[in-house]
Amino acid sequence: MAVNDGQATTIVEYLVLAIVLMATISLNESTNDDDETTLELTHISGDMILSTRSSMDGLGLYEFERGARASIEMDVSAVISDGCETCVNVPKGVRLNGTVVITELIDDAGRLGKVEATLEVIYLYESVKSGFITKEWVRIDWDAGPASSQWDVVITHDPPRWVPEGRDNAAFISVDDGRESRNGPWLLVREVIGSSQNIMGCIPTSFTCDGTTQHEFNFTSNFEQRRVPQTIPHIASWAPIQTSGNLTGTPVLMEDVRELLTTGERRSDSTPWCPMAINGETLASWEMSSSDGVNIAPMSTILSATGLPSGSFSPIDGMWTEIENEDEACASAIDEQGILIIGIYKHNA
């Protein structure tokens, strides 16, 4: 059974979001730039069994039975960007590119489906000094024919976010086989032949996986001696955009993101921030408030185990705005001083 364009688009959207959360939130500046022997991550490969209903739904696989398999082959390289007009220091980061395949998709009629595509993820960050990040950017290009899409994300940290060296070490304890997660889903990190790590574990919300008899994902991270970073054009620049007409309604394409925040009454006096002009069909804004103790840090233990960036984001007091049409959606949060704190843009092919 071929997965139709609508189903594939839903799957792609949730998979792209999962990879963003798993691989490109923020970079831990814990290495010495003068140390020529430092190793860097160069490749990630492996697969994940989506054994729970929530894991299937989290990737948009509502119409399929549990047990689909997601496989990835991604090259990783260090990059610096050129052309950021608002930056004080040159942004740097990582680029991931490769293939993602979801197989063993079985619908209610027992028919098999498959989704495959190429994927590029670019993550950049600007720092004021070692360990302090002021801004982050993410771009995701998913090339899957009619189901292709592009995402752009920007996060501003004011004051700068501190990323202390070795902050993730406390998440693991030493065991005979390697390092094991101290809390949360079971996770085991093992050194293998050469400069590689093997990471096995259980996905969140799984009730049958405990690491003693089975695992639900298995990834291998390969490391090599640090190379000269590649120079790439800077990704999207965000600014307030003008809207035409008296737009109303309630946007829905960013609803899942909105539910992560604490929003209040609707407002009508805001201007959306986007990386480009949008011919919007619906527009809405909400008051947004910070919540004591709320800290969004998705998949941080798994990220640090694979050698990828991990980080967190805390909601702030301000305003949340969404604008969208059939093919585009843009959401932005500004603080009480009118500074863009986070922006998310999506465009379908």
Cα–Cα distance for residue pair 241/258, rounded to 1 Å: 20
Domain match, 255 and 139 both: no
**Among candidate residues 181, 215, 233, the one where a domain is terminated:** 233
**Among candidate residues 187, 215, 233, the one where a domain is terminated:** 233
pLDDT at 238: 92
Which of 59-63, 232-236, 291-295 is predicted with the least confidence, judged by mean pLDDT? 291-295
For the cut 90, the answer to whether the pLDDT of residue 167 exceeds it is no
Domain match, 98 and 190 both: yes
Domain match, 41 and 145 both: yes
Which of 2, 17, 22 is CA-nearest to residue 59? 17
* Beta pairing, strands 340-348 & 318-324: unpaired
Domain match, 297 and 208 both: no
Domain match, 101 and 139 both: yes
Domain match, 196 and 276 both: no
Task: Select the more confidently predicted residue: 71 or 51.
Answer: 71
The pLDDT confidence band at residue 56, using thresholds 50, 70 and 90, is low
Contact partners, residue 246, CB within 8 Å, separation at least 6:
none
Distance of CA 291 to the CA centre of its chain: 22
Reported pTM: 0.78
**Among candidate residues 186, 211, 233, the one where a domain is terminated:** 233
Domain match, 191 and 119 both: yes
The pLDDT confidence band at residue 26, using thresholds 50, 70 and 90, is very low
Percentage of the chain lying above the pLDDT 70 cut = 71
Q: Report which DSSP code applies to 145.
A: G
Cα–Cα distance for residue pair 190/178, rounded to 1 Å: 5
Which of 167-171, 204-208, 211-215, 280-284 is predicted with the least confidence, judged by mean pLDDT? 167-171
For the cut 90, the answer to whether the pLDDT of residue 91 exceeds it is yes
Domain match, 130 and 218 both: yes
Cα–Cα distance for residue pair 317/338, rounded to 1 Å: 11
Domain match, 37 and 137 both: yes
Domain match, 227 and 246 both: no
Domain residues for 153?
5-233
Domain match, 118 and 202 both: yes
Domain match, 202 and 258 both: no
DSSP class per residue in 189-250: EEEETTTEEEEEE--TT-SS--SSS--SEEEEEEEEE--PPEEEE--PPPEE----S---S-
What total of structural domains would you count in the chain? 2
